[in-house]
Amino acid sequence: MKTGQTHLFIPGPTNVPERVRMAMNVPMQDMRAPDFGELTMPLFAGLKKVFRTNSAEVFMFPGSGTGAWEAAITNTLNKGDKVLMSRFGQFSHLWVDMAKRLGLDVECIDVEWGMGVPVDIYAEKLKADTKGEIKAVFATHNETATGVTSDIAAVRKALDDANHDAMLYVDTVSGLGSIDFRMDDWGVDLAVSGSQKGLMLPAGLGILCASQKAVEASKTAQMDRCYFAFADMMNLNGGGYFPYTPPTQLFHGMRESLAMIFEEGLDTVIARHRRLAGGIRAAIDAWDGCRLCAADAQWHSDTVSSIVVPDNIDARDVISIAYDRYNTSFGSGLSQLAGKVFRIGHLGSLNEGMCMAALGNAEMALCDAGARIELGSGVAAAQAHYRNDVRQNLKIAAE
């Protein structure tokens, strides 16, 4: 019998705030009604603000982030097109796999898991491609398997420096609404996201933002597509309608989650993720024998920490013990990281107290699984980090 709250610290689906859950408890409604656009039109406008774009189109496909990956590719590219990709974790791996299965000619740069997009190599490849054979460059903004954030502005710079007009495709499923993302400033052509991570909603929407250049490309690109066709969506989205039954409950939830993001302020939301992640990282640093999978501070993700456990323990035990004994879910090690890491998702609806619960429960599970960390060591480091932060914000002198 489980009592109290179940602690969900996986990097998606994330905790859905009470306000959002309540907002979704509404009767079904007519998605062809004359006033349906009153519900949906503000969502497109709100998402544009979250993507930080004035000119791009936002699409909401019933589906998930993976569907939005597919929509991005099939709408804008042709079979046999050469694309530049990189792989450094399970999610970047899966996008490469999809691109190959859809018939793209993928040049994939494999990078050690724990590092991010190899911008220097991208820059070389783009400079060398004087004939413009590379049609698209792909980058995973936040690799959720390893807790690595990449520098998308630098990828844009590599394209510009090479005077290359390949389109830029970015997976920001676990970054959008939590880590700085700038569609227009970074010249992103296709940005992929989903509802169940930073946007604090249940799973069910693949969210995609497409630049005008990408929309133009969709008019001539020949890859097969039907359910995900931009043209069908755009025909109806203008009035707030959809070519098939949309998930109206999720729209009601999104109205509330966007309101929450804008009430707090998008910049403040991003700063909060940085602050909370800092406490989590301080704790990991204090755990003897544990370290972040992210190889360097430049890659540290503010939404998920992938924690390498000491050699003599199995991270799967940490995860199952946390779940069985302490009512807490952590993310697992994916693919080559299975058994080696557990992940703490720290994004979305989150505060210091929740992070302390995650860390306290993680310490108990680590010890139970045989790690020789000192109970309280990470908790104390995070407490110091958060207290110090609060003092700075309140301009109270340090003790």
Ligand X SMILES: *Cc1c(COP(=O)(O)O)cnc(C)c1O
Sites of contact with ligand X (CB under 6 A): 12, 64-66, 91, 140, 142, 144, 171, 173-174, 194
Question: Is there a contact between 16 and 256 (Cβ–Cβ < 8 Å)?
Answer: no
Kindly state the smallest distance separating residue 216's Cβ from ligand X, in Å. Answer: 26
Kindly state the smallest distance separating residue 256's Cβ from ligand X, in Å. Answer: 20
Nearer to ligand X by Cβ, of 66 and 377: the residue is: 66
Nearer to ligand X by Cβ, of 142 and 306: the residue is: 142
Kindly state the smallest distance separating residue 203's Cβ from ligand X, in Å. Answer: 6
Nearer to ligand X by Cβ, of 176 and 322: the residue is: 176
Kindly state the smallest distance separating residue 174's Cβ from ligand X, in Å. Answer: 4
Minimal CB distance residue for ligand X: 65
Nearer to ligand X by Cβ, of 64 and 211: the residue is: 64
* Burial (Cβ within 10 Å: 0-12, 13-18, ≥19) of residue 54: exposed
Nearer to ligand X by Cβ, of 193 and 328: the residue is: 193
How many angstroms separate the most distant Cα atoms in the chain?
65
Nearer to ligand X by Cβ, of 36 and 193: the residue is: 193
- End-to-end Cα distance, the chain: 43
Kindly state the smallest distance separating residue 117's Cβ from ligand X, in Å. Answer: 12
Kindly state the smallest distance separating residue 199's Cβ from ligand X, in Å. Answer: 11
Kindly state the smallest distance separating residue 144's Cβ from ligand X, in Å. Answer: 3
Nearer to ligand X by Cβ, of 228 and 386: the residue is: 228
